[in-house]
A = this chain, B = another copy of it.
Amino acid sequence: MTYCIAISLDKGLVLTSDSRTNAGIDQVSTYSKMFRFNTKADRCIAILSAGNLATTQCVIEQLNRDLRESNETSLNTTHYLSDTADYVGDVLSQRIKRYTEDQQSGFSPDATLLMAGQIKGQPPQAFLIYPQGNHITTSVDTPYLQIGESKYGKPVLDRFLTMQTSLTDAATCALISMDSTMKSNVSVGPPIEVLVYETDKLMFKHHYRFDAEDPFLINLRREWGNKLNQAFKEMPRIPESFSTDSTTGE
């Protein structure tokens, strides 16, 4: 599997992805799932991918080809980021349809994408693009989108993220969410990539890549573990007096 997060805040965007892919237990590999594009200077776009690797590689290749060949529709030609999401959704769903017809039992060409960025004059935005090509964006109440193994790391995002969170805090929150997921699910693994975009800059501010042995990541994990253990120790325990009397069948 995979775990990717796109966070869309007042101050900008924070994208995070793991790099583990697997086709069955014995075909585990490392592929980056974070893609940036060489667009015109009036826009800045990145995509995170989850799902069938053959599908996502073809989609990214098609998006790059449309850019290089200055095709009628490409990441450069849209005026609104939601139109860009439509275009990427079309490329994605067409590629998936091509293989769904020959579908063998158990095989799925499905993939899901997170697309985020900004076009000059518009606010920065993030979109979750489904295999069918349709998409959703974030809201003030839910300033993030996830794809892949999203459940393990969701409580942390729900707890710490608001529209006013700083980009640095959001990056830390995303790394903790990623760490919780890696702790509970072996199909999500390093290197972990983080991409930070500051509103109206039209270029990415920071790109980080953390290997499994990265001292910062190891320290973050240890620190978070220690703090949670300490917090757990200090939590109130259920008073025995709260127990109901009935101890047999009800």
- A residues at B contact (CB < 8 Å): 35-38, 64, 149, 151-155, 158-160, 168-169, 171-173, 175-176, 180-181, 183-184, 194, 203-209, 216, 219-220, 223-225, 227-232, 234-240, 242-244, 246-250
Known: A184-B151, A242-B216, A248-B36. A236 touches B223 (CB 8 A): yes
User: Roughly how many angstroms separate A220 CA and B231 CA in the complex, as a whole number?
Assistant: 12
- B residues less than 8 Å from A248 (CB atoms): 36, 38, 203-204
Say which residue of B172, B232, B235 sits within 8 Å of A232 (CB atoms): B172
Q: Is the CB of B235 within 8 A of A220?
A: yes
Q: Is the CB of B184 within 8 A of A246?
A: no
Say which residue of B152, B168, B225, B228 sits within 8 Å of A238 (CB atoms): B168
Say which residue of B38, B224, B243 sits within 8 Å of A207 (CB atoms): B243
User: Roughly how many angstroms separate A8 CA and B232 CA in the complex, as a whole number?
Assistant: 19
Task: Tell which of A160, A229, A230, A247 has the most Cβ of chain B within 10 Å.
Answer: A247
Say which residue of B158, B220, B249 sits within 8 Å of A184 (CB atoms): B158
- B residues less than 8 Å from A153 (CB atoms): 155
16 A–B contacts, CB within 8 A, in A order: A36-B249, A37-B249, A38-B249, A151-B152, A155-B183, A158-B183, A160-B229, A169-B237, A172-B238, A194-B238, A205-B243, A207-B246, A208-B243, A216-B238, A224-B235, A231-B231
- B residues less than 8 Å from A159 (CB atoms): 183, 225, 228-229, 232
Residue of B nearest to A196 (CB): B243
User: Roughly how many angstroms separate A121 CA and B237 CA in the complex, as a whole number?
Assistant: 31
User: Roughly how many angstroms separate A7 CA and B32 CA in the complex, as a whole number?
Assistant: 37
Q: Is the CB of B237 within 8 A of A172?
A: yes
Given contacts A206-B240, A208-B238, A228-B231, 16 further A-B contacts (CB under 8 A): A36-B249, A36-B250, A155-B180, A158-B183, A169-B237, A171-B237, A172-B237, A176-B232, A205-B243, A205-B247, A206-B238, A207-B247, A208-B242, A208-B244, A219-B236, A231-B231
Q: Is the CB of B247 within 8 A of A204?
A: yes
Minimum CB–CB distance for A75 against chain B, Å? 10
Minimum CB–CB distance for A13 against chain B, Å? 13
Minimum CB–CB distance for A236 against chain B, Å? 6
